[in-house]
Chain A
């Protein structure tokens, strides 16, 4: 199961795809509203085509770059990392945990992205207007303006896609290559489906429930990964102590360090023969038949960290400032949103004058990772 379906990869794909779908849906909705098939049928059709062309081109480039990267990675990786497998599994596990943890919180807010993108888009077009007035007739700028409806989705898809590639690469460092395709495809399909539902403006409460459940799973996976990463590092130490002998002992006595063992059951080993159901249990919840002090403590500390971080974010949203810090000026929220919207500009869409008004201070927050 874990050998053909990498759960972290699925979630990363799902999230990035969802975000892309939302952007595209916002663009299409915008075109429908502002130009509409009724007003200027020809222009409308042309712009819609541009949007899809941008999406297609962006996707294509992403897939090419992604495949190349992951291919090259595995080509090098297989030689470099074999022999010290436990050490690398541990290090990759920690990298994957960090990526998933940072990406995860964004999934919760994905249904609200629609509004945000609408704002960003408006921002971008506003800027275009400004630019148009001051334009010196530069050809490139003109070209950009003419194909804005192509460039906007193209760059957005490219950005989200490359982000996904980097994340998947990071998360998947320790996973076998054959576990990728199915997870990627499922992630894409799920993302498109949910994105479509959001576009159609389905029951947003139900959607939110779905997103919460997804996020919870994502964090369960991350906690398990973290715990496993520590376990692998300890196992690496143990292999060094026993001179690699322990590897040959399967899941029985001698395969683990008795001094570090919190529990050990001579069954349910997720690493033997693919692990069966225990393998699923392992990738979802970090189950191990041989828990160590390190793996148990790291699992609990991870959750503690997550609880504290989310509590702080909740506090911030309610109070407008971080716990244990002084309350900021009243407009903190305003600034925050403006800042977030201006972030969108840096993704390739020309940025607009609105930031001028909200220039008083830069508010950094954990929620920026949602962008």
Chain B
């Protein structure tokens, strides 16, 4: 009965003008996404093809309200690339198949095909959506979405809400950059360096402000790679939300957003409207292997108090001292999960494989997309779905039990900063080592915060560690991965198989999703190798490139033996020549010559 009533409401509400939607509890918001190529030149330096929606780029800012049903009809009109859509940060509770990562919860949507994403948004906050097809989103296929909260605890404390983004930007398309990145000619795995930074997909972002008003800024880093330092000259930011989780208010002069992180903060405008102020976002150059001299890592936008007044140039800062998000406290006061039912390590390293390219590893395994998307394996392997073996040897799969407190310890053996994102959850950050702290040592006493900060994307410091905890209460297959696009593509990912047997009972994949698999010729049943009979037989699974040979191979031995042989032969020849007496004729002539020379004296 309740179901039919809500359906009725949905029908009714979709007919209402959009402006009214925010004021009601639940609605259905339908979007048609015709994904196709358009041309754009956001930084004024190079026009290039970008992936737009309905012929538009930048992509639209989507506004939902908590409780909305969202229907996105995605039509792939790219012509030359497959695609997919992921709504970053949504828990997708009950709709794991709408999460989006290709090879995990769905198949790639080939050109000319469509797929519908249909889910209910039962959370609030600042999010973003992007393609979850290998390496694709930095070509422009990323945008911001907001889930408005009628019960925002900070309502009344601000006058206006403004959402905008920061991002890095490339001038070359991803397929070419990826081919050069994962290549024997790039053995150190140096990531392509962005060409510029963008603020709200432009380099000339302005925001009109009125004196004395307070603004609710929602800021998302929708970039591929670079972390961004962000500050507003002459203003402080009062942080009230990170990654969809309200926090106790915290004052900050400068914040740091890794790729995929979001911050919401209140900024109160000055009473004096005589001059304008620069907002600066500066790409973290620590991430770049080589900083090209021509690169401008900064992008400036302006708080415009007076449209006729000049836009001031951003001032030089001595050092970056961003706010440490570890100190934040969630507004809901959710206390520390003080014990873990299941704890495991993911040890990160970068190394080269037999093809000479550089890959990223968790526990010596570089993630390789399985033959069957992991969700479909869960749904088609019956009792065996509880056994992580089923999901293959290259997916770093962990099976999580219902309502267990999961503790994930990430140890980084890499000098870079990495932002890690867990699909389907936010998590408590209970510990984060300082740069260079090395691996996490559980036996050492750690005093965890009583109410740890929660978010869905968190950064690990160079050569250090972090510990996160969350409750396994969301049946589904959830990817845990580095949100640096380059690292995801070289395999820095692990798979959480959460309550698989319950998932089998509650989830049925819509037919249009399976149609997409048929169109892309992807298996939809069986284990990671597509075997449906012996579910523990992984013959035929996708594997990562073979490791580098540890020492001498047959080729090397043959070469060494031949080299030694020719050296011995050469030495033999020299010895033969050296020990051969002078020819008889030569000796004779020498004697005669000496005799003659002596004779003339």
Instruction: Give the interface SS of chain B, mostly helix, strand, loop or mixed.
Output: helix
Which residues in B have their C-beta under 8 angstroms from that of A115?
590, 594
Instruction: Give the interface SS of chain A, mostly helix, strand, loop or mixed.
Output: helix
**A333 and B586 within 8 A (CB):** yes
Min CB distance A227 to B, Å, is 8
**A119 and B593 within 8 A (CB):** yes
In whole angstroms, what is the CA distance A259 to B583 when docked? Answer: 50
**A334 and B352 within 8 A (CB):** no
Nearest residue (CB) in B for A299 is B563
Min CB distance B183 to A, Å, is 10
Q: Does B434 contact A (CB under 8 A)?
A: no
**A336 and B586 within 8 A (CB):** yes
Q: Does A125 contact B (CB under 8 A)?
A: yes
**B574 and A108 within 8 A (CB):** yes
A-B contact sample (7 more), CB < 8 A, given A118-B594, A209-B579, A291-B556: A242-B188, A245-B186, A253-B358, A263-B551, A317-B582, A333-B589, A341-B593
Which residues in A have their C-beta under 8 angstroms from that of B578?
108, 208, 211-212, 215
**B548 and A253 within 8 A (CB):** yes
**A254 and B188 within 8 A (CB):** yes
Could you tell me which residues of chain A, from 301 to 328, have a CB within 8 Å of some CB in chain B? 303-304, 306-307, 310-311, 313-314, 317-318, 320
Known: A215-B578, A254-B358. A241 touches B555 (CB 8 A): no
Partner of B569, one of A123, A303, A354: A303
**B574 and A262 within 8 A (CB):** no
Could you tell me which residues of chain B, from 555 to 601, have a CB within 8 Å of some CB in chain A? 555-557, 559-560, 562-563, 566-567, 569-571, 573-580, 582-583, 585-586, 588-590, 592-594, 596-598, 600-601
**A300 and B563 within 8 A (CB):** yes
Which residues in A have their C-beta under 8 angstroms from that of B549?
264
In whole angstroms, what is the CA distance A242 to B289 when docked? Answer: 12
**B557, B559, B579: most-surrounded residue (chain A CB, <10 A):** B559
Contact with B along A196-211 (1 / 0, CB 8 A): 0000000000001101
Partner of B574, one of A126, A219, A245, A264: A219
Q: Does A243 contact B (CB under 8 A)?
A: yes
Q: Does B316 contact A (CB under 8 A)?
A: no
Which residues in A have their C-beta under 8 angstroms from that of B551?
263, 265-266
Which residues in A have their C-beta under 8 angstroms from that of B437?
none
Could you tell me which residues of chain B, from 163 to 189, have a CB within 8 Å of some CB in chain A? 184-189
Per the CB 8 Å criterion, the residue count for chain B at the interface is 56
Q: Does A249 contact B (CB under 8 A)?
A: yes
Min CB distance B550 to A, Å, is 7
In whole angstroms, what is the CA distance A247 to B266 when docked? Answer: 48
In whole angstroms, what is the CA distance A337 to B597 when docked? Answer: 13
Could you tell me which residues of chain A, from 219 to 265, have a CB within 8 Å of some CB in chain B? 219-220, 223, 241-243, 245-246, 248-249, 253-255, 257-259, 262-265
Q: Does B233 contact A (CB under 8 A)?
A: no
Known: A216-B575, A248-B188. A314 touches B580 (CB 8 A): yes
Chain B residues with a Cβ under 8 A of chain A: 184-190, 289-290, 351-352, 354-356, 358, 548-553, 555-557, 559-560, 562-563, 566-567, 569-571, 573-580, 582-583, 585-586, 588-590, 592-594, 596-598, 600-601
In whole angstroms, what is the CA distance A197 to B235 when docked? Answer: 91
**A242 and B580 within 8 A (CB):** no
Which residues in A have their C-beta under 8 angstroms from that of B575?
212, 216
**B356 and A263 within 8 A (CB):** no
In whole angstroms, what is the CA distance A331 to B588 when docked? Answer: 11
Nearest residue (CB) in A for B190 is A245
Min CB distance A305 to B, Å, is 9
**A119 and B580 within 8 A (CB):** no
**B351, B354, B573: most-surrounded residue (chain A CB, <10 A):** B573
**B556 and A306 within 8 A (CB):** no
**A262 and B594 within 8 A (CB):** no
**A125 and B570 within 8 A (CB):** no
Nearest residue (CB) in B for A123 is B597
**A122 and B597 within 8 A (CB):** yes
A-B contact pairs, 10 of them (CB 8 A): A119-B590, A126-B601, A211-B578, A220-B571, A242-B186, A254-B358, A262-B556, A266-B551, A291-B559, A333-B589
**A119 and B597 within 8 A (CB):** yes
Q: Does A190 contact B (CB under 8 A)?
A: no
Min CB distance A315 to B, Å, is 10
Min CB distance B356 to A, Å, is 3
**B589 and A253 within 8 A (CB):** no
In whole angstroms, what is the CA distance A332 to B590 when docked? Answer: 12
Which residues in B have their C-beta under 8 angstroms from that of A303?
566-567, 569-570
Min CB distance B430 to A, Å, is 34
Which residues in A have their C-beta under 8 angstroms from that of B601?
122, 125-126, 129
**A220 and B553 within 8 A (CB):** no
Min CB distance B549 to A, Å, is 7
In whole angstroms, what is the CA distance A314 to B352 when docked? Answer: 51
Known: A208-B579, A303-B569. A243 touches B290 (CB 8 A): yes
Which residues in A have their C-beta under 8 angstroms from that of B566?
299-300, 303-304, 307
**A208, A296, A336, A354: most-surrounded residue (chain B CB, <10 A):** A296
**A296 and B563 within 8 A (CB):** yes
Min CB distance A131 to B, Å, is 14
**B594 and A307 within 8 A (CB):** no
Q: Does A167 contact B (CB under 8 A)?
A: no
Nearest residue (CB) in A for B189 is A254
In whole angstroms, what is the CA distance A215 to B575 when docked? Answer: 9
**B570 and A219 within 8 A (CB):** yes
Nearest residue (CB) in A for B587 is A333
**A129, A211, A215, A254: most-surrounded residue (chain B CB, <10 A):** A254
Q: Does A5 contact B (CB under 8 A)?
A: no
In whole angstroms, what is the CA distance A7 to B55 when docked? Answer: 71
